[in-house]
Structure 1
């Protein structure tokens, strides 16, 4: 591999390096520190355990990737912290996709650790106490920056001051990460600004409710026509349940109650924006926002998969009853982190509940499509001075009334 900081521009491959100025590969990467950072405690106790080296390397690799994820995540949060320019969504997509690819590596990396057998692990496990993966500062920062809320965490060591209380700098970083706007909060604010939600403009929400009511009424008529009484009652009951599900998004008080119970995370307006983007993903204006929503779900999914693989590995290594090295219940504690309470973007996963068939989606008029293409920064419709000269007559403000 060529040195990334070599200053000579015209030196052909294979020429000697003696006379060149600048850093060498190892100096640039500070490999003298990185490759000397593996301290085997079993060796210190005159009982060198071969697999302890693998254990250390694997977890150090995790921490390096955590650092890169946080680096990318902070940059994405910075972009989202302002009114998002349309031209910036591509950069967000690139960085979110990079996070997704890194998380895929982390999920697969568990398999390498599983080449160690339970007996191999037992040979050095006692040397680890009271160290625990729960004490990974970077993973806790990652969770906070994504938007895992304190009230949604399981009980064990819920208060991080107990974990990092002796490290003032670490504790300061944790507190700071909790006080700053998380990615989830910034995405929520971004979704609330989705163009098309304005009552006086496109009024997507009004059109969507009309479409849903039409769909449910047509299905009710079909159910009533079923000749078999038991089957007719079954379909009518199922339809009533579906109507209740839709009412949970159409009635703000029901949505607010679900928010208070922790079953939803986004505000009512943000949820409307997410539904609009999902239904109109084929429109150029919503194509990249839809990709962003998918990548956010990918991040949640992959972290859940990583937790799950970790849980299986722990059960394989120490069983279901032994305590963790940090004092937790081990397998039982880790298994409890697999629930939806740890999903930051759980509302995005549930969007499919509120989808309607394509035939019922209110079509966008050519005028509305033009207005969407001229939208700037989520602040409102901006028309160029020459629009009228170019034949862009703006006469109506919304979707076509007809629902096919």
Structure 2
């Protein structure tokens, strides 16, 4: 059988060849649309300019350019989410799906960027050493887009680790410096989410005093737990239980101490306002209610964002340690030691959402909703005019 020849029937019915080559008629083509001529010719090897081309420098450049392109996309998504919050379009709860979709997209991109370090790890420390000298004084710290991302998410300026004992912005000049300054003055994602949480449906309801009932239930529950422990015979186990109970009691009661919250806020140990924290906890407890399902997904996506940013920092630290050990960075920093100091809760923006788990209580301690508030949380709030006139409805 001759496989090289199609039967007449096959030739006549080959639907894979029934298309039309529109490009042959002129117009926009793939390479022009993506401006590939600019992108694919943007890899200039410093080692080659110095007359000693090092093969792996090409990988180093392409990988970092890919990072910057993805940072640009993340900023694009982040800005659109901030605009939705800032313009009040989030009051129309139908816009929340758009917010969730874009936040999830950011998370997926960050997952990709975390994994991308494995490509750079195919290069050995000696391979990197061959061309590292040519990079100075360029440094990853000088990534404008990453600093903008930190600012727009809401990394507190007061908690940043100084870079060579200087403010991070001092390493940028001209327009880059102005862009960073502008980003510091804009509402951050943290601030916008905080304002949104303060408006949590049902939080200010006169018919349902969530916070008051919750405090009452916690006090009652703690009394019952204490009585059960006290009823036990004297033993080492009882002492341990009492010690553990005291810790739990102090933790839970601290939740109702607004002055303590404000003190922790001033120290940077908490980031959300007291009212926003109440709203977040309410969403957490009643996340199965229809009106809170999407908000709960948003809170989860914000934690995902923090986790992935931390993973990115950690992978970066590990890569730098692998490549240069304890040497100074090409930009003059302490290198590994500086980067290691940034992998901490100082750079976590939504740390309060993680800490909500600290205040978990038995389900029967959670206030039962009355029929009125239960019905209220079944009805989404929307406004046709804001929804359809929104510039972000694309």
- TM-score of the aligned structures, taking structure 2 as reference length: 0.89
Residue 179 of structure 2 is matched in structure 1 by 173
What is the rounded CA distance, in whole Å, between the counterparts of 2:43 and 2:306 in structure 1?
31
2:212 to 192, 206, 214: 206
Indicate if the aligned counterparts of 1:307 and 1:338 stay in contact, CA closer than 8 A.
yes
Q: CA deviation at 1:226?
A: 2.2
Q: CA deviation at 1:161?
A: 3.4
**Comparing 49-58 and 198-207, the one that deviates more:** 198-207
What is the rounded CA distance, in whole Å, between the counterparts of 2:51 and 2:124 in structure 1?
21
1:163 to 171, 191, 200: 171
Q: Give the count of matched residue pairs.
A: 365
What is the rounded CA distance, in whole Å, between the counterparts of 2:169 and 2:108 in structure 1?
32
What is the rounded CA distance, in whole Å, between the counterparts of 1:47 and 1:225 in structure 2?
81
1:142 to 127, 131, 149: 149
Residue 87 of structure 2 is matched in structure 1 by 82
What is the rounded CA distance, in whole Å, between the counterparts of 1:139 and 1:151 in structure 2?
18
Gaps of 5+ in 1: 1-11, 379-404
Residue 125 of structure 2 is matched in structure 1 by 118
1:364 to 362, 369, 374: 369
The root-mean-square deviation of aligned C-alpha atoms, in Å, is: 1.7
Indicate if the aligned counterparts of 1:197 and 1:204 stay in contact, CA closer than 8 A.
yes
What is the rounded CA distance, in whole Å, between the counterparts of 2:119 and 2:24 in structure 1?
42
1:340 to 339, 345, 354: 345
2:332 aligned counterpart, secondary structure: coil
Asked if residue 223 in structure 1 is aligned to residue 223 in structure 2, the reply is no
Q: CA deviation at 1:39?
A: 0.5
Cα offsets for 1:199-242 (capped at 9, x unmatched): 62321101111221122112111211221432222211221211
Residue 260 of structure 1 is matched in structure 2 by 266
Poorly superposed stretches of 4+, deviation over 4 Å: none
Residue 320 of structure 2 is matched in structure 1 by 314
2:115 aligned counterpart, secondary structure: helix
Asked if residue 98 in structure 1 is aligned to residue 100 in structure 2, the reply is no
What is the rounded CA distance, in whole Å, between the counterparts of 1:217 and 1:205 in structure 2?
18
Q: 1:86 to 1:16 in 2, by over 3 A?
A: closer
Higher relative contact order (CA 8 A, sep 6+): 2
Indicate if the aligned counterparts of 1:278 and 1:290 stay in contact, CA closer than 8 A.
yes
Cα offsets for 1:334-353 (capped at 9, x unmatched): 00001100000000010001
Q: CA deviation at 1:21?
A: 3.4
What is the rounded CA distance, in whole Å, between the counterparts of 1:236 and 1:361 in structure 2?
23
Asked if residue 242 in structure 1 is aligned to residue 248 in structure 2, the reply is yes
- TM-score of the aligned structures, taking structure 1 as reference length: 0.87
1:188 to 183, 186, 194: 194
